[in-house]
Amino acid sequence: MTISRDLPPLELHALHAREATEEIRFDEVYQETAPVVVRTLRRLVPTHLVEDAFQDVFLTVARRLEDFESRSTLKTWVIGIAVRVASDHRRTARRAERRLSALGREVAPRTVTPEQQAVRADQVRLLHRVLEEMRDEHREVLVLVELEQMAASEVAKLLVLNPNTLYSRLRAARAEFNGIVVRFRQGEAEP
Amino acid sequence: MTRLSKEALELIARESSLDDATPEEVARLAGPVYAALGRAPPVEIGSHPLPGVAGTSGMSAIAKGMLVGFLTMGIGVGGYLASQRNARVPAPQSPPPPVHSLPPHPIVAANPPLALSAGPVASAVPRPAAHKRRPVPKPQDSSSAGIPSAPQEEALLVATAGAQLRAGNAAQALVLYERHLKLYPRGLLRHESTIGRIRALCRLGRSEEGRAALQRLPKSSNHADLERACGGSR
DSSP letters for B117-139 = HS-TT---PPPPTTS--PPPPPP
Return the SS3 of B82. helix
Yes or no: say if B204 and B174 are a contact pair by the CB < 8 Å rule.
yes
B21 to chain A: closest CA residue: A35
**Positive or negative CA dihedral for B36, B124, A77, B8?**
positive
Q: What confidence tier does B137 reach under pLDDT thresholds 50, 70, 90? A: very low
pLDDT tens for residues B66-117? 434 444 444 444 444 444 444 333 433 444 433 333 333 333 333 333 333 3
pLDDT at B219: 76
pLDDT at A118: 54
Which among A26, A28, A142, A130 is positioned nearest to A83, based on CA atoms?
A: A142
B51 pLDDT exceeds 60? no
pLDDT at A10: 63
Chain B contact set for A26 (CB, 8 A): 37
Q: How far apart (Å, rounded) are the C-alpha atoms in residues B59 and B55?
A: 11
Burial annotation A16-26 (CB, 10 A radius, 16+ → b, else e): bbbbbbbbbbb
CB contact under 8 A, B88 and A8: yes
* DSSP alpha helix (H) spans, chain B: 6-15, 23-37, 61-84, 114-117, 151-166, 170-183, 190-203, 207-216, 223-229
**What's the gap in Å between the CA of B234 and the closest CA on chain A?**
31
Query: Mean pLDDT in each 10-residue stretch from start to end of chain A (191 residues)?
Result: 54 68 81 94 92 94 83 87 95 83 59 55 76 94 94 92 95 96 81 51
CB contact under 8 A, A171 and B11: no
Chain B contact set for A70 (CB, 8 A): 58
pLDDT at A7: 58
Yes or no: say if A74 and A26 are a contact pair by the CB < 8 Å rule.
no
Residue A143 burial (CB count, 10 A): 26
CB contact under 8 A, B51 and A32: yes
CB contact under 8 A, B56 and A39: no
> pTM to 2 decimals?
0.52
CB contact under 8 A, B137 and A12: yes
pLDDT at A114: 59
| Stretch B187-216: mean pLDDT | 87
